Structure 1
Amino acid sequence: MAPALPAAAQGDAAARGAALAAERNCGACHGERGISAMPGIPSLAGQQAEFIALQLVLFREGLRDVPAMQAPADGLTDQQVEDLGAYVATLPHAPPPDRAPRDASALEAGAALAGQLRCGVCHLPALTGQNQVPHIAGQREDYLAETLIAYRDSKRHGSDTQMNGVVQGLSDAQIAQIAHYVAQR
């Protein structure tokens, strides 16, 4: 992991990232303060700078195929990628405005599955992520379910294939339970 920047440098990077996010209109899909109100679009607020930077590089280099992200990531310099990550990391995390009401049985089943799958090892016990592992607690439930299904069906790969192996063999119902549990955290 790179050494932490002094607070002033972090602030400068975040300020440059905020300007770039406004210029590239990131808020149109991900929400003005990084909290997505659009189905299937992840909230970014509170993500680790390293995670955001990695995803932007994957988009920019064509290694992660999300057509809607190709144009926004096109031509980003490494410094701009890091600045956007710094900015997103400063945004306070909050659940999406249209979060589904809690379903006690889905929550309980999802918690049990998350424990069995050891989600808290990489994503940390509070599911807040670390370094290049995303903050998933409170994320959009629909996005979580779509992502887990894509990993299970080998239509998406992370920077490694660990997630593909973790969710291999899960049913759609089990994925829905995990997504509900994680979204409600």
Structure 2
Amino acid sequence: MDRNSSIYIGFMVGLFCINAELQAGMIDKDGMEPWEVCGMCHSLDGVSKMPKFPKLAGQKAAYLTLQLADFRHERRTNDNGQMASIVTEINPLDIESIVGYFSGLPRPAPESIIEEGVEKAGHQTGKLLFEEGRPGVDACSSCHNLVHPTAPFLQAQHADYIRKQLNDFKQGHRVGSRAAVMTGIAGLLSGDEIDAVADYLQSSGR
């Protein structure tokens, strides 16, 4: 596929997703599996092409279920209501199969943040914050690990997505089930630290 074709496809996917709250009820879903509508933005392999939409491949089932419930009941609205609108189009009986599909996919591979052979300056800072924390801030990995059921797995996630979520927590724009802990933690992080954690996670391994 040439570059122009890739740009065109990316544009069309983005156009659909940005206007999804208007189009959700207009999609002909006959013959589609429940997760295929989700795949229009998050990709059928769960590795979304646009940072606006998180990668869902291999994400914890309990976390996905909790977030879908928060969107459905409008406890989480920091995406300008887009997901709240889309979730209303999902049959509650299909939630389990959607969650099972995406959580069962292979986790995404990390994306390098090496630029011209030089790591971004904040990479080590991000690694230390995630793995060890700093005085007054617990290590991110104390919750964001393979054991904690409702703290999402963050490795290889889009840096821009993580950056937005941390800033939304910091500014009080992201609320919902169990959001209070993250609001407190994000409030202690500087803008540079948020950037460092986001960039580190995008490039960290599975």
Q: Same fold (TM over 0.5)?
A: yes
Q: What percent identity do the matched residue pairs reach?
A: 29
Report if the CA contact (8 A) 1:52-1:84 is conserved.
Answer: no
- Pairing 1:152–2:170 present: yes
Distance 1:167 1:123 in 2: 14
Which has the higher Rg, Structure 1 or Structure 2? 2
Runs of 4+ in 1 over 6 A off after TM superposition: none
- Pairing 1:29–2:50 present: no
Shift of 1:77: 4.2
Shift of 1:61: 1.1
Distance 1:159 1:165 in 2: 14
Distance 2:109 2:76 in 1: 25
Name the structure 2 match of 1:51.
Answer: 63
Distance 1:106 1:86 in 2: 35
Name the structure 1 match of 2:127.
Answer: 111
Residues 134 and 70 (structure 1 numbering): CA distance in 2 closer, same or farther, change over 3 Å? same
What are the Cα deviations for residues 111-140 of structure 1, in whole angstroms up to 9, with x where unaligned?
12222131111112xxx4632111101100
Instruction: Read off the aligned partner of 1:40 and give its amino acid letter.
Output: K
User: Where in structure 2 are there 5+ consecutive unaligned residues?
Assistant: 1-31
Distance 1:32 1:105 in 2: 34
Name the structure 2 match of 1:4.
Answer: none
User: Where in structure 1 are there 5+ consecutive unaligned residues?
Assistant: 1-17
Name the structure 2 match of 1:76.
Answer: 90
TM-score by length of 2: 0.71
The correspondence for 1:20, drawn from 24, 34, 38, is: 34
Distance 1:71 1:157 in 2: 17
Shift of 1:76: 3.4
Name the structure 2 match of 1:92.
Answer: 106
TM-score by length of 1: 0.79
What are the Cα deviations for residues 95-120 of structure 1, in whole angstroms up to 9, with x where unaligned?
47xx4523253210111222213111
CA RMSD of aligned residues (A): 1.9
Q: Secondary structure at the match of 1:176?
A: helix
Distance 2:84 2:175 in 1: 17
What are the within-5 Å matches in structure 2 for residues 130-145 of structure 1? 130-145=148-163
Residues 89 and 183 (structure 1 numbering): CA distance in 2 closer, same or farther, change over 3 Å? same
